Amino acid sequence: MPALLERPPITAPEAEVTGGGVTRPASAPARHRGPGRDLFIDLLRLFGIAVVVLEHWSIPVLSYAQGRITTGNAFTTPGAFAITWITQVMPLVFFAGGAANAISHRSHLARGGGEPLWLAGRVRRLAWPVLPLAVVWIPLPHLLLALGLPEQPVQTAARLAGQLLWFLAIYLLAVALTPVLLRLGERYGGRVPAALAAGAVVVDVVRFNGLEAAGFLNVGLVWLAVHQLGFLYAGGRLGGYRLMAAGGFAAAVALVAFGPYPGSMIGMPGAAMSNMAPPTAALLAVAFGQIGLAMILRPAILRLAARPAVGRIVTWAGPRMMTVYLWHMSALFVVAGVAVVGLGIATPAPGGAAWLAGWPIWLAALVLVVRPLIRLFARFEEPPATSYGTTGRTVGGRPDGTTGRTPDRVPDRAPGWARALSSAALAGAGLLTLTITGFATGVTPMLGSAAIVTGLALVTPVGNRNRSRRGAAQPSASSQT
């Protein structure tokens, strides 16, 4: 495994190699790149979020009767589970996130910034867009119930609105461990993800021999292993893509065929177990296969990305990616509430003629609803920047490392490890709480949201928050997401 993962940096004709072995397409227009960016990684993240949204919008099987909404999954159709081996794209998102974190961390340190400040910026970047979601969804179930809407559909929607935050909770753990895991990766290379993968297999053995709770250790082991592969890519040390693709998918086939693993890579209604909650070695095998396949297709992806139309999509979608992810389920609840609960229109049987005919109309309705949500809440994608006087650094900002902001005053010293780690822990605990309970009526969502706010407050001194001066200042060279 270590030999597989430690190949020379990519030097294909279609790519140019930047510092640290990070590759960029030679043919990509300069305007599609920001300082320290990797277009391939940006495209993987956008692709991942787009597939997640499309899947969430397409798979619900809904009906309503006697005050209760019944939910099903289109992938329960015989043979449809195979689609999830491609559409379960969270491994690609974690892989791209690992590469982005490595690039961002290296760039920040090269400018003289400290690791606690880098972590503080990442916490703010991840947690800040969640605040408007909480502001809307905490009172919304109470309001809808007061207006006389049936309780079960309202509570179901409120719970599901928070469940998608599981990704941010786990990703924040990966971010907090990035400085340590980067150093381990620099020293041991591919041995780190190999060890994490081996640990995930051991956990599954223990889990399937009676200790079910042990499986939750794989929440860390599986996703950190995939995240670590992103580090190797950012350092130009990821190779053997065909072997990764063939070996990963072949291992997944064997595990499903001869092991206790279900065929679907997402949770299915009524299934005895899930490959996702907690993640399993079968999902990790699919992750290796997907990443290998993505790397094989990388030259073609970059050639496609060089087209102006694709570049315009990337330019538009990049700054709105988190907003789309956080609010796409809200759009689904609006459309389902009107069509299924309000008008009593049940979704047709998946895969049939009626389902295929209605699917474009369903998606069009969802796009119409989500567009104003994106316009309204995309402004919260970028947290307010905070300049720290002792370092001259800026926390927050755009993904390319710029903010377009200037400080109103020089604040106190930058956060140290105690504040940065406390902030990450509080924000992570709040996100995990909302993942478990959602925004259903009760005090728990308020406590989870309060933990996020407190975590953000630790790295966002209120008196030192900057004000935007549109068009007046050049981007700060020392800023960092």
- Please give the Cα distance from 360 to 106 (Å, whole number): 44
- pLDDT-derived band at 269, boundaries 50, 70, 90: confident
Q: What are phi and psi of 276, to 5 degrees?
A: -110, -30
To which residue do tokens 């919260």 refer?
380
Q: What is the pLDDT of residue 25?
A: 38
Q: Does the pLDDT of residue 279 top 50, yes or no?
A: yes
| pLDDT classification of 407: cutoffs 50, 70, 90 | very low
Q: What is the dihedral of CA 231, 234, 237, 243, to 10 degrees?
A: 80
d(CA 462, CA 477): 23
Handedness of CA 231, 236, 239, 241 (dihedral sign): positive
Examine the pLDDT at 333 and tell me if it is beyond 50.
yes
Pick the closest to residue 416 from 438, 445, 391 (CA basis). Answer: 391
- Residue 277: predicted pLDDT: 87
412 has pLDDT over 60: no
In tens, the pLDDT along 297-315 reads 999 999 988 899 888 988 8
- Flag the least confident range among 73-87, 108-122, 144-158, 426-440: 73-87
Mean pLDDT of the 431-456 span: 96
pLDDT at 36: 55
Q: How many CB atoms lie within 10 A of CB 437?
A: 18
What pLDDT does residue 352 have?
Answer: 86
Q: Residue 279 gets which letter from DSSP?
A: B
**At residue 11, does pLDDT exceed 50?**
no
pLDDT of residue 377: 96
Distance CA 447, CA 318 (A): 31
User: Lowest-pLDDT range, 74-78, 98-102, 159-163, 212-216?
Assistant: 74-78
Cα 472 from chain centre: 33
Instruction: Tell me what the mean pLDDT of segment 14-23 comes to.
Output: 36
Neighbours of 337 (CB within 10 A): 18
Q: In the prediction, which pLDDT does 474 show? A: 38
C-alpha to C-alpha distance for 333 and 165, rounded to whole angstroms: 16
Given a cut of 50, is residue 184 above it in pLDDT? yes
Crossing angle (nearest 10°) for helices 191-207 and 218-234: 160
Residue 119: per-residue pLDDT = 96
**Stretch 104-122: mean pLDDT, rounded?**
93
Smallest CA-to-CA distance from 7 within 241, 188, 186 is with 241
Local confidence band at 13 (pLDDT 50, 70, 90 cut-offs)? very low
Is-contact 115 292, C-beta < 8 A?
Answer: no
Q: With a cut of 80, say whether residue 465 has pLDDT above it.
A: no
> Are residues 156 and 425 in contact, defined by beta-carbon separation less than 8 angstroms?
no
Q: How much of the chain exceeds pLDDT 70, in percent? A: 83
pLDDT tens-digit readout, 199-218: 999 999 999 998 999 999 99
With bands split at pLDDT 50, 70 and 90, how would you rate the model's confidence at 9?
Answer: very low
pLDDT digits (tens, 9 = 90+) for 348-386: 988 889 999 999 999 999 999 999 999 999 999 988 877
Burial class (CB in 10 A: 0-12, 13-18, 19+), 194: middle
The pLDDT-based confidence of 182 (bands split at 50, 70, 90) is very high
pLDDT at residue 3 in the model: 40
Interval 183-208 mean pLDDT = 96
As a residue count, the chain comes to: 481
Q: Which has more confidence, 402 or 415? A: 415
Q: Which one is predicted more confidently, 137 or 9? A: 137
- Segment 84-92 shows an average pLDDT of 94
Q: With bands split at pLDDT 50, 70 and 90, how would you rate the model's confidence at 455?
A: very high
For 21-50, the pLDDT digits (tens) are 334 333 333 333 444 578 999 999 999 999
Helix (H) or strand (E) holding 480: strand 479-480
Predicted local distance difference test score (pLDDT) of residue 427: 98
User: pLDDT value at position 305?
Assistant: 86
Q: In this predicted structure, what is the pLDDT of residue 255?
A: 96
How sure is the predictor about 463, in pLDDT bands with cuts at 50, 70 and 90? Answer: low
- The whole-angstrom separation of Cα 139 and Cα 149 is 14
Q: Is 269 left (phi over 0), alpha (psi -120 to 50) or beta?
A: beta
pLDDT of 109 reads 93
CA distances from 206 to 104, 199, 216, 259, 280 (A): 37, 11, 11, 14, 12
Mean pLDDT of the chain, nearest integer: 85
418: left (phi over 0), alpha (psi -120 to 50) or beta: alpha
Pick the range with the lowest mean pLDDT from 23-37, 130-144, 160-174, 352-366. 23-37
Residue tagged 């499903």 (tokens):
256
Q: Which residues contact 475 (CB under 8 A, 6 or more apart)?
A: 402, 403, 404
Tell me the per-residue pLDDT of 52-85, one tens digit each, with 9 for 90 and over.
999 999 999 999 998 999 988 888 888 888 899 9
pLDDT at 165 over 90: yes
Backbone angles phi, psi at 64, to 5 degrees: -140, 130
Q: How many CB atoms neighbour CB 151 within 10 A?
A: 13
CA 390 from centroid of its chain's CA atoms: 32
82 vs 78, 88, 192, 231, CA distance in Å?
10, 10, 30, 29
pLDDT of residue 341: 94
Q: Let me know: does 328 contact 377? Beta carbons within 8 Å.
A: no
Band of pLDDT at residue 441, cut at 50, 70 and 90: very high
